[in-house]
């Protein structure tokens, strides 16, 4: 894109100059998180301009009563809002009684930087106040990944040309609202406020859901680099508590405050000990000091980057894009708590409720499989197993029985909380994504024991759902699936969505294989599971096999492509190239009726299935379907470009593959969808990683072997990435005509490059020639 607002840099996102119109967008882009909580890049000091304040705590939500015009049986009772939690970053500044407010004062030399390498936010500017008084401000903050219940801020002020009074007011504020609240509701009750010289705490509780959160703070003051004594005034109101410190500042003096805050919640602490434990954390933090805490934090970021970095030489925009995506993936989910998952906006906004979607299984697990310890992706699967009984209850609400599970489209605790009928009732392909994630995890890790411990119970319940969801059609002489919505949400209530039918049949086949494996290899677990699920092997297997052998899949003999659903060819077959620019995006310019009657596809649907089961299709089949559906796809879902990038790379469409990669990797930095102010597209960031590693790197796992079939963009000098595969850690560097593989840890290993088998021994570096590309 031209006219990029943010500077291109390999390791940073940089804003030079302050534009109030971009403030909410920047607050999203420069957000910080540590897996336990996250904070938008709001200013510490007072700001009267337009802002979207946001501090979010993983797992803490509010069950907002579902409001619909008319109720349908099976509707969820509530929508789970991820709550904007009490504000911990506040530090009001006054110079001779005048409040520092960037919406009111003159500014120069403003810069804001997100340092992705070390995980911190840095802001610098000079403010010109009344009477021409100038101050230089430097503010640095981070959310510690070494201690994921604390954050720290170093805020310094230098006098350029005056002497006078300076006051800092560090505070904690419980007077917060959600931007997405329906009627300006207040979601928090304040239980306790405490303050003393150098310390304050705010103890609050969510309405309805009853989560308790305690913020504690203390701080130190320095003048010209040395600690200085101070006394403070206690500041307290109904919902705010803090200290006010008055100091004298002279020309060329620098005065700073280092604020340490703990954010504890009742998911991890006894409610009776929240205040005590919070105070202990900030006391220890203050004793260790800002620099030492930051070094601990930065050291862990070094480790994360050592395992997950992707290095692109020769293309700074592409490099910045992939690192921005990896950075937010790493700071959104750490895998340490199996109760947690990843919402579409992560910790950067409130849209979609911040809850779990099928995005996790389809787009995020591949990243964590390859870049993190095995237990991280395992915990994402266990999360779904923990919700199995809720999924069975959800199935019962919709009329299913005998232990059939329909996992929710949107959830915080296993209950469905999405209130659009065409999604809640119809977008059932999510069940298939959850089943496939079990297969994908075992294919990658070879952790077959997972089936006996957790996976088989989930597969049986999902397969029972598919068995009941299909019906026999006398007209077609086949099983059919009616009234569904596929991944393309610009089609609702369709019959025989090809992708949904494919996922159903595949799940039944895989579940039968899993049953036989557990029966043979883990007989005690098999007996337990059969008893707990009341599984009737002879009867249920017979029914499943019958569906597998007789499922209907819409297909065009004339076009030789899989049809997205019955009747798709009845539509006026326009292409996106025929749309006027004023029509785009369709979801903002067309009526829903017009969208539903059009041929336009929101995101990969048939192509999502071809990507998922790529090994079943020859290259010509993939190419025909891509050539048919891509020109009809408007990519108005953030999850769409990555799948198209991978498939375009597969069939040799290098320019398309690269352009789709840029779109997915820079979706938020360049604000393609004009909505970054609402938060980032966290779950699609997993797709960005897939675009590089699965697309340009051509990485696949087939029959227990790692395969590479690289095809990097011509402008790239090289592409390097590191992956964990079972016992091995490999560093792979792809050049135009060769591949370098380093077996950094693990045993000697066989793998394939463009179908040819190679060996790399433990600790060795091997270089392999790519020769002349023969297609992929």
Residues carrying an active site annotation: 489
Task: Determine the Cα–Cα distance for residues 491 and 477; give it in Å rounded to an integer.
Answer: 25
How many Cβ atoms sit within 10 Å of the Cβ of residue 279?
A: 18
Task: Determine the Cα–Cα distance for residues 431 and 508; give it in Å rounded to an integer.
Answer: 12
Residue 424 makes CB contacts below 8 A (sequence gap 6+) with 74, 75, 76, 409, 416, 418
Contact 599, 572 (CB under 8 A): yes
Least Cα distance to 306 among 372, 242, 366 occurs for 372
Token pair 């930095």: residue: 669
Q: Which residues pair with 142 in a beta bridge?
A: 152
Least Cα distance to 639 among 679, 673, 688 occurs for 688
Residue 408 DSSP class: -
Task: Determine the Cα–Cα distance for residues 336 and 603; give it in Å rounded to an integer.
Answer: 32
The enclosing H or E element of 673 equals: none
What is the DSSP track for 142-193? EE-SSSTTEEEEEEEEEESS--EEEEEEEEEE-----TT-SS----EEEEEE
Q: What pairing do the DSSP bridges indicate for beta strands 705-708 and 749-753? A: parallel
SS3 sequence of 1-57: CCCCCCECCCCEEEEECCCHHHHHHHHHHCCEECCCEEECCCCCCCCCCCCCCCEEE
SS3 sequence of 613-643: CHHHCCHHHHHHHHHHHHHHECCCCCCHHHH
Task: Determine the Cα–Cα distance for residues 143 and 166; give it in Å rounded to an integer.
Answer: 27
Task: Determine the Cα–Cα distance for residues 199 and 183; give it in Å rounded to an integer.
Answer: 34
Is residue 585 reached through a cis peptide bond, with omega within 30 degrees of 0 on the bond before it?
Answer: yes
Contact 51, 176 (CB under 8 A): no
Q: Whats the size of the chain, residue-wise?
A: 776
Distances (CA, A) of 659 to 179, 232, 311, 319: 34, 56, 18, 14
CA angle at residue 102 from 96 to 103, to 5 degrees? 115
Tokens representing 309 are 């970095």
On the 0-12 / 13-18 / 19+ scale of CB atoms within 10 A, 458 is buried
Q: Which residues pair with 479 in a beta bridge?
A: 472, 551
Tokens representing 591 are 């009526």
Contact 230, 248 (CB under 8 A): no
CA angle at residue 463 from 457 to 464, to 5 degrees? 90
Alpha-carbon dihedral angle through residues 427, 428, 432, 435, given to the nearest 10 degrees: 120
């Amino acid at each position: 894109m031209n006219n990029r607002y943010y500077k291109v840099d390999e390791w940073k996102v940089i804003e030079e100059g302050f534009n109030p119109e971009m403030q909410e967008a920047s607050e999203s882009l420069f957000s910080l998180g540590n897996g336990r909580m996250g904070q938008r890049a709001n200013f510490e000091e007072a700001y009267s301009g337009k802002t979207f304040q946001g501090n979010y705590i993983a797992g803490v939500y509010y069950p907002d009563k579902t409001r619909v015009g008319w109720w349908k049986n099976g509707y969820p009772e509530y929508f789970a809002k991820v709550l904007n939690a009490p504000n911990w970053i506040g530090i009001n500044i006054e110079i001779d009684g005048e409040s520092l407010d960037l919406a009111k004062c003159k500014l120069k030399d403003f810069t804001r930087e997100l340092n992705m390498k070390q995980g911190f936010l840095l802001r610098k500017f000079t403010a010109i106040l009344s009477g021409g008084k100038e101050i230089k401000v430097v503010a640095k903050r981070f959310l510690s990944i070494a201690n994921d219940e604390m954050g720290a801020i170093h805020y310094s002020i230098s006098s350029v040309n005056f002497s006078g009074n300076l006051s800092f007011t560090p505070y904690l504020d419980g007077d917060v609202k959600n931007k997405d609240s329906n009627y300006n509701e207040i979601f928090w009750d304040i239980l306790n406020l405490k303050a003393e010289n150098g310390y304050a705490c705010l103890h609050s509780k969510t309405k309805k859901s009853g989560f308790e959160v305690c913020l504690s703070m203390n701080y130190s003051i320095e003048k010209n680099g040395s600690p200085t004594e101070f006394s403070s005034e206690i500041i307290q109101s109904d919902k705010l508590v803090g200290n006010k410190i008055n100091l004298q500042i002279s020309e060329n003096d620098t005065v700073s405050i280092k604020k340490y805050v703990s954010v504890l919640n009742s998911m991890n602490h006894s409610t009776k000990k929240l205040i005590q434990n919070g105070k202990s954390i900030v006391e220890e933090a203050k004793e260790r000091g800002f620099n030492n805490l930051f070094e601990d934090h930065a050291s862990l970021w070094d480790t994360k980057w050592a395992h997950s970095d992707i290095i692109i030489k020769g293309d700074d925009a592409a490099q910045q894009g992939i690192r921005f995506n990896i950075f937010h993936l790493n700071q959104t989910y750490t895998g340490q708590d199996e109760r947690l998952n990843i919402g579409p906006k992560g910790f950067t906004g409130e849209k979609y409720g911040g809850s779990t979607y099928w995005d996790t299984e389809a787009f995020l697990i591949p990243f964590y499989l390859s870049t993190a310890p095995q237990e991280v992706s395992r915990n994402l699967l266990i999360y779904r197993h923990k919700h199995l009984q809720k999924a069975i209850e959800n199935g019962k609400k919709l009329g299913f029985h005998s232990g059939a599970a329909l996992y929710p489209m949107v959830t915080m605790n296993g209950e469905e909380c999405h209130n659009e009928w065409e999604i809640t009732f119809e977008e059932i392909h999510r069940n298939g994504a959850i089943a496939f994630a079990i297969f994908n995890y075992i294919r990658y890790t070879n952790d077959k024991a997972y089936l006996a411990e957790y996976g088989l119970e989930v597969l049986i319940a999902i397969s029972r759902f598919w068995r009941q969801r299909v019906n026999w059609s006398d007209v077609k002489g086949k099983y059919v699936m009616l009234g569904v919505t596929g991944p393309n949400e610009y089609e609702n209530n369709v019959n025989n969505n090809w992708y949904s039918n494919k996922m159903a049949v595949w799940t039944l086949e895989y579940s039968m294989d899993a049953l036989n494996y557990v029966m043979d290899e883990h007989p005690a677990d098999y007996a337990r599971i059969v008893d707990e699920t009341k599984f009737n092997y002879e009867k249920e297997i017979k029914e499943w096999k019958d569906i597998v052998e007789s499922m209907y899949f819409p297909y065009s003999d004339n076009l030789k492509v899989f049809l997205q659903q019955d009747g798709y060819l009845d539509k006026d077959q326009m292409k996106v190239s025929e749309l006027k620019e004023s029509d785009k995006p369709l979801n903002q310019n067309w009526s829903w009726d017009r969208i539903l009657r059009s041929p336009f596809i929101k995101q990969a649907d048939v192509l999502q299935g071809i990507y998922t089961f790529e090994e079943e299709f020859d290259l010509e089949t993939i190419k025909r379907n891509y050539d048919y559906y891509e020109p009809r796809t408007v990519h108005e879902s953030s999850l769409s470009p990555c799948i198209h990038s991978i498939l375009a790379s597969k069939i040799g469409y290098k320019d398309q593959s690269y352009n789709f990669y840029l779109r997915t990797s820079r979706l938020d930095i360049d604000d393609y969808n004009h909505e970054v102010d609402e938060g980032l597209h966290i779950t699609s960031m997993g797709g960005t990683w897939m675009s590089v590693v699965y697309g340009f790197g051509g990485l696949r796992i087939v029959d227990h072997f790692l395969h590479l079939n690289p095809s990097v963009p011509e402008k790239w000098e090289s592409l390097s990435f590191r992956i964990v595969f079972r016992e091995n850690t490999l560093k792979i560097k792809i050049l135009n005509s060769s591949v370098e593989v380093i077996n950094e840890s693990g045993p000697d290993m066989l793998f394939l490059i463009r179908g040819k088998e190679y060996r790399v021994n433990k600790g060795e570096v091997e270089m392999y020639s790519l020769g002349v590309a023969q297609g992929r």
